[in-house]
Structure formats: structure tokens, C-alpha cells
């Protein structure tokens, strides 16, 4: 049994997209953005207070780059993960982690100081610095990318989910100018996938849980 806690457009979209690519049954719990402050008891089930939270076979996962890989390994076999015996395995793992650790991380600093906590002393410069950092890292990542419209292994994998989400995030938080036309084309092609479209439809159709429902939905007791 798989249960995913998600907020529209958040990094938990990586997990949702992976679930749809694998056509797995799951329960989707839609939360308001900034769940920790919206639903105080969310911390009962996820002490980090972040999304994603995924419960799978009674285990708890909170990292959006790890979840797609674990789903593929646990519920495969599937070409969406690269097997350790394939030569491209190191490239795959590298891009899988890079999507979050190298590409999304600087964007979260930018987002924090432009949208969540704007106007604090010195933070405007930090926002600019991290926007430039993001641009440089994305350019560098691009030089490492494989052929055929995918980051590696010549096919669509979970690493494409983690990397392309970072580009999509850039487009919605004001960093679109930092993304090259080639990277925009790469993402636009992936957005034509049925799994991607089903994930978007799922997050649109599911109701966001109310504070009243949160009493039971988010409680471990």
C-alpha cells in the first residue's frame, strides 16, 4: 500500500510522476503548501514537515530524488531505473541525485528570499547569487547530458524526473531566463508523456484536505 502526501507543484511531484509512470495504485493526500504551518499535526507523521512524504509498505520516505528510484526497484522490473550492471548506472545515479542536490537546492534559497521571506537585510543579494549559481550548475549539467532527449542511458529514466522537475520549478519561480532553449525543449518533450499528464491530472482532481480532515488524516494516533 502506497500513500503520498503532496502539495501541487512541490517536489513531491517527482514521486507522483514516478507512481504514474509505473501505473501503481496509490492514495494521494493533497496538502496546502507549507504543510507544516498549515496543519500542525502533520509533524506527527513527518517530523521534517516537508513534502513529499510517502508511506510504502509501512516505511516512511521524505526525499523526492530517492522515492522514484525506490519505487522502480521495489515494484519493477522496469526500464525506468538503470540496473547496477548497466554501464550507465553511475551516470544515472549521478543525475538522479543532481536533480535535487545540485539543481533544486539553489532554487530553494532563491525562492525563500524572493517569495517566502522577502525584504530581510542582505537577502536580495543572496537571492541573486543563488539564481546565478543555479544558472551555472544547469549549464554544467547540460554539458553532461546524454543523447536522444534524456539525461542518460538513451532512454527515459527516474533521473529525467528529478532533473526535469528542477527545470520546471525554475520556470514557475521566476528563473525561466536561466534555462537554455535546449533544456526547455527537453522538458517540453517529457511533458508529452502519458505518465506526466496523468500525474498533472491526479494533482488537479484530488481535493486539498481541510484543517478539519487533517485531525484524522494526519494523525498517528
Ligand X SMILES: N[C@@H](CCC(=O)N[C@@H](CS)C(=O)NCC(=O)O)C(=O)O
Binding site for ligand X (CB under 6 A): 10-11, 34, 36, 49-52, 63-65, 100
- Closest by Cα among 193, 130, 136 to 164: 193
Minimum distance of ligand X from residue 13's CB (angstroms): 9
CB–CB of 148/154 below 8 Å?
A: yes
Distance in Å, CB of 103 to ligand X, minimum? 11
Residue 186 Cβ vs ligand X, minimum distance, rounded to whole Å: 20
Q: CB of 79: closest distance to ligand X in angstroms?
A: 23
Smaller CB distance to ligand X: residue 39 or 186?
39
Query: How is 115-129 classified by DSSP, letter by letter?
Result: IISTT-TTHHHHHHH
Cβ proximity to ligand X: between 54 and 202 the closer is 54
Q: Counting runs of H as helices and runs of E as strands, what totals does the chain give?
A: 11, 4
Would you call 208 helix, strand, or coil by DSSP?
strand
132 within 8 A of 66, measured Cβ to Cβ: no
> For residues 11 and 69, which CB has a smaller minimum distance to ligand X in the complex?
11
Comparing CB distances to ligand X, the nearer of 149 and 171 is 171
Amino acid at each position: 500500500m502506497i500513500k503520498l502526501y503532496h502539495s501541487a507543484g512541490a517536489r513531491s511531484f517527482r514521486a507522483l510522476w514516478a507512481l504514474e509512470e509505473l501505473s501503481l495504485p496509490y492514495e494521494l493526500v493533497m496538502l496546502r503548501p507549507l504543510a507544516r504551518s498549515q496543519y500542525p499535526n502533520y509533524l506527527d507523521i513527518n517530523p521534517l514537515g516537508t513534502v513529499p512524504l510517502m508511506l510504502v509498505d509501512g516505511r516512511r520516505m521524505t526525499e523526492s530524488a530517492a522515492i522514484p528510484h525506490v519505487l522502480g526497484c521495489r515494484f519493477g522490473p522496469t526500464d525506468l531505473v538503470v540496473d547496477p550492471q548497466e554501464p550507465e548506472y553511475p551516470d544515472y545515479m549521478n543525475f538522479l541525485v543532481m536533480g535535487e542536490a545540485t539543481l533544486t537546492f539553489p532554487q530553494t534559497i532563491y525562492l525563500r528570499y524572493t517569495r517566502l521571506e522577502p525584504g530581510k537585510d542582505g537577502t536580495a543579494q543572496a537571492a541573486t547569487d543563488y539564481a546565478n549559481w543555479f544558472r551555472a550548475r544547469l549549464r554544467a549539467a547540460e554539458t553532461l547530458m546524454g543523447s536522444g532527449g534524456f539525461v542518460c542511458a538513451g532512454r527515459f529514466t527516474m533521473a529525467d524526473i528529478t532533473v526535469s522537475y528542477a527545470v520546471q520549478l525554475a520556470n514557475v519561480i521566476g528563473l525561466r531566463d536561466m534555462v537554455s532553449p535546449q533544456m526547455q525543449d527537453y522538458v517540453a518533450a517529457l511533458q508529452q508523456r502519458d505518465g506526466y499528464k496523468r500525474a498533472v491530472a491526479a494533482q488537479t482532481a484530488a481535493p486539498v484536505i481541510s484543517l478539519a480532515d487533517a485531525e484524522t488524516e494526519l494523525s498517528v494516533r
